[in-house]
């Protein structure tokens, strides 16, 4: 069996939840078996990302046995005389590699988790962000469009609705916009608003749910410590990426300065960068499988976390294919903590066989490979315009320590 062809699509989720676009791939072997994959966060236009995926497949993957995952990884990891963590190339490779594992599972008539050590967990605990009911119209005065990001009472109300759906953990980023400048000192307004929001959520949910504070590298080291001290009384499960990802020493200092476990990893790639995090004392890793190197590399990240008595909570802000791939690694891994999840009509529509939840937990797929099937029509009906927005966008103006605006106002 040899890997023969690749197809790519870039599609736009109508609500923007899960990113501004998804890069979906389908690889076909010479015996006709097809596998699907998803690339995460390649920081170029979607159409260019597809070209990168196709070029990489033709250079390093086409004609190879799907069993030679290590060989394929090393080829792409070293592409162009790099041989170091590269989020663009690893994003490209991860989607291809996920599709190859889908082929292997189908060829062997096994779910992927059975090829990674078997089913360690019978079900996976999941969490969700506090998404607004109507994400397309946050400016509306209707109850469905309350600002769950900046209004503590609205966040608490939405948290209770998710708990009623079965979730036992919810996440919110109350801090404010994140800028290309990197970390900044939060204003007293932002510190007070953030503390009030988490306080409202805790008072509403009590001990029925964990609270995950999902910041995105907005803060300087000192500002992150100031906020962490304010939030400690509400006992969050973690304090996520408090400083920019290129400031690992800063993240390590924050981790030593607070009782809240620090988590990071969505902007990192390969076991090298996650090993550095573990050595710095980060107890919760958050690889995104569509960027971290694919299924096999992410399994290695799970494995090395065990040596540090740390845990892994896979990051999911993407489509359902990467979501399914992360789940297979998690099902097979002792150090799994909790899985981010997105449930939306569009996420379900791009699959003809979908992921299954029960009372806030994901159930293990039983079909071969990823256990899901692609609905290409849904992808085509939501096309990307070349040159459009990137998967995620940062605020490209400097922000002062007295900023009080919402991202939508900048």
Residues 6+ apart with CB under 8 A from 275: 304
**Range from 202-206, 227-231, 394-398 carrying the lowest mean pLDDT:** 394-398
* Residue 395 resides in a domain: no
110, 141, 163: which is the final residue of a domain?
110
Residue from 378, 323, 318, 336 nearest 42 by CA: 318
Specify whether 224 is located in the same domain as 358. yes
221 phi, psi to nearest 5 deg: -60, -50
pLDDT at position 138 over 50: no
Mean per-residue pLDDT, 153-158: 96
pLDDT at position 7 over 50: yes
pLDDT range class, residue 398, cuts 50, 70, 90:
confident
Specify whether 102 is located in the same domain as 180. no
Specify whether 42 is located in the same domain as 126. no
110, 144, 178: which is the final residue of a domain?
110
Q: How many domains does the chain contain in total?
A: 2
pLDDT range class, residue 354, cuts 50, 70, 90:
confident
Mean per-residue pLDDT, 120-128: 97
pLDDT range class, residue 225, cuts 50, 70, 90:
very high
**Sign of the C-alpha dihedral computed for residues 144, 145, 146 and 149 taken in this order:** positive
- pLDDT at position 127: 97
Mean per-residue pLDDT, 122-147: 72
pLDDT at position 339 over 60: yes
**Is 377:350 a contact under the CB 8 Å cutoff?**
no
90, with CB counted inside 10 A (0-12, 13-18, 19+), is: buried
Per-residue pLDDT reduced to its tens digit, 62-86: 999 999 999 999 999 999 999 999 9
Tell me the H-state helices in 232-342: 248-257, 270-279, 295-306, 320-331
- pLDDT at position 343: 87
What three-state secondary structure class fits 367? Answer: coil
Specify whether 139 is located in the same domain as 268. yes
pLDDT range class, residue 135, cuts 50, 70, 90:
low
* Residue 403 resides in a domain: no
pLDDT at position 164 over 80: yes
Which residue reads 């916009």 in tokens? 177
Specify whether 97 is located in the same domain as 154. no
* Residue 308 resides in a domain: yes
Torsion of CA 361, 115, 335, 210, to 10 degrees: -10
Helix 46-56 and helix 87-108, axial crossing angle in degrees, nearest 10? 60
* Residue 389 resides in a domain: no
What three-state secondary structure class fits 114? Answer: helix
pLDDT at position 223 over 90: yes
Specify whether 227 is located in the same domain as 323. yes
- pLDDT at position 403: 58
* Residue 141 resides in a domain: yes
Mean per-residue pLDDT, 205-209: 98
Specify whether 207 is located in the same domain as 235. yes
Residue 139: how many other CB atoms lie within 10 Å: 8
Q: What is the pTM of this model?
A: 0.95
Parent domain of 286:
114-370
**What Rg do the C-alpha atoms of the chain give, in angstroms?**
20
110, 138, 162: which is the final residue of a domain?
110
Specify whether 120 is located in the same domain as 16. no
- The DSSP H or E segment spanning 6 is strand 3-11
pLDDT at position 151 over 70: yes
- pLDDT at position 136: 57
* Residue 250 resides in a domain: yes
pLDDT at position 167 over 90: yes
Specify whether 15 is located in the same domain as 150. no
pLDDT range class, residue 332, cuts 50, 70, 90:
very high
CATH of the domain at 121: 3.20.20.120
Per-residue pLDDT reduced to its tens digit, 305-318: 999 999 999 999 99
249, with CB counted inside 10 A (0-12, 13-18, 19+), is: exposed
Q: How far is Cα of residue 255 from the mean position of the Cα atoms in its chain? A: 21
* Residue 397 resides in a domain: no
- pLDDT at position 133: 82
Mean pLDDT of the chain: 94
pLDDT range class, residue 404, cuts 50, 70, 90:
low
* Residue 337 resides in a domain: yes
pLDDT at position 407 over 50: no
- pLDDT at position 408: 46
Residue 313: how many other CB atoms lie within 10 Å: 26
pLDDT range class, residue 405, cuts 50, 70, 90:
low
Specify whether 87 is located in the same domain as 196. no
pLDDT at position 321 over 80: yes
Mean per-residue pLDDT, 209-214: 98
**Range from 36-50, 113-127, 166-180, 309-323 carrying the lowest mean pLDDT:** 166-180
Specify whether 216 is located in the same domain as 351. yes
pLDDT at position 410 over 70: no
Specify whether 106 is located in the same domain as 185. no
What three-state secondary structure class fits 200? Answer: helix
**Range from 87-96, 177-186, 231-240, 393-402 carrying the lowest mean pLDDT:** 393-402
CATH of the domain at 8: 3.30.390.10
């Amino acid at each position: 069996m040899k890997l023969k062809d690749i197809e790519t699509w870039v599609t736009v989720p109508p609500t923007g939840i899960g990113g501004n676009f998804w890069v979906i791939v389908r690889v076909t072997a010479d015996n006709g078996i097809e596998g699907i994959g998803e690339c995460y966060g390649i920081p170029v236009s979607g159409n260019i990302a597809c070209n990168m995926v196709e070029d990489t497949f033709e250079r390093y993957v086409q004609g190879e046995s799907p069993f030679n995952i290590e060989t394929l990884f090393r080829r792409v990891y070293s592409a162009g005389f790099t041989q170091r963590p590269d989020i663009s190339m690893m994003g490209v490779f991860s989607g291809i590699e996920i599709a190859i594992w889908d082929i292997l599972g189908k060829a062997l008539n096994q779910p992927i988790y059975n090829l990674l050590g078997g089913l360690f967990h019978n079900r996976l605990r999941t969490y969700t962000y506090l998404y607004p009911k109507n994400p397309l119209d946050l400016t509306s005065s209707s109850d469905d469009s309350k600002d769950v990001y900046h209004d503590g009472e609205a966040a608490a109300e939405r948290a209770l609705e998710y708990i009623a759906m079965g979730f036992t953990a919810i996440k919110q980023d109350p801090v404010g916009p994140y800028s290309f400048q990197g970390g900044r000192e939060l204003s007293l307004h932002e510190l007070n608003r953030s503390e009030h929001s988490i306080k409202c959520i805790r008072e509403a949910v009590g001990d029925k749910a964990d609270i995950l504070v999902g910041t995105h590298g907005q803060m300087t080291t000192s500002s992150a410590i100031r906020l962490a001290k304010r939030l400690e009384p509400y006992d969050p499960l973690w304090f996520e990426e408090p400083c920019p990802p290129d400031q690992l020493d800063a993240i390590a200092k924050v981790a030593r300065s607070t009782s809240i476990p620090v988590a990071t990893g969505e902007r990192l790639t390969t076991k090298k960068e996650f090993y550095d995090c573990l050595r710095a004392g980060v107890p919760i890793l958050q690889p995104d499988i569509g960027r971290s190197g694919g299924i096999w590399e992410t399994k290695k990240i799970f494995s090395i976390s065990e040596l540090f008595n740390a845990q892994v909570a896979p990051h999911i802000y993407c489509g359902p294919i990467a979501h399914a791939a992360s789940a297979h690694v998690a099902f097979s891994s002792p150090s799994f903590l909790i899985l981010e999840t997105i449930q939306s009509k569009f996420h379900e529509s791009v699959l003809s066989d979908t992921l299954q939840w029960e009372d806030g937990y994901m159930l293990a797929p039983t079909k071969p490979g990823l256990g899901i099937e692609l609905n290409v029509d849904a992808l085509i009906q939501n096309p990307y315009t070349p040159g459009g927005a990137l998967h995620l966008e940062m605020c490209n103006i400097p922000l002062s320590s007295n900023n009080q605006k919402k991202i939508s106002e900048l």
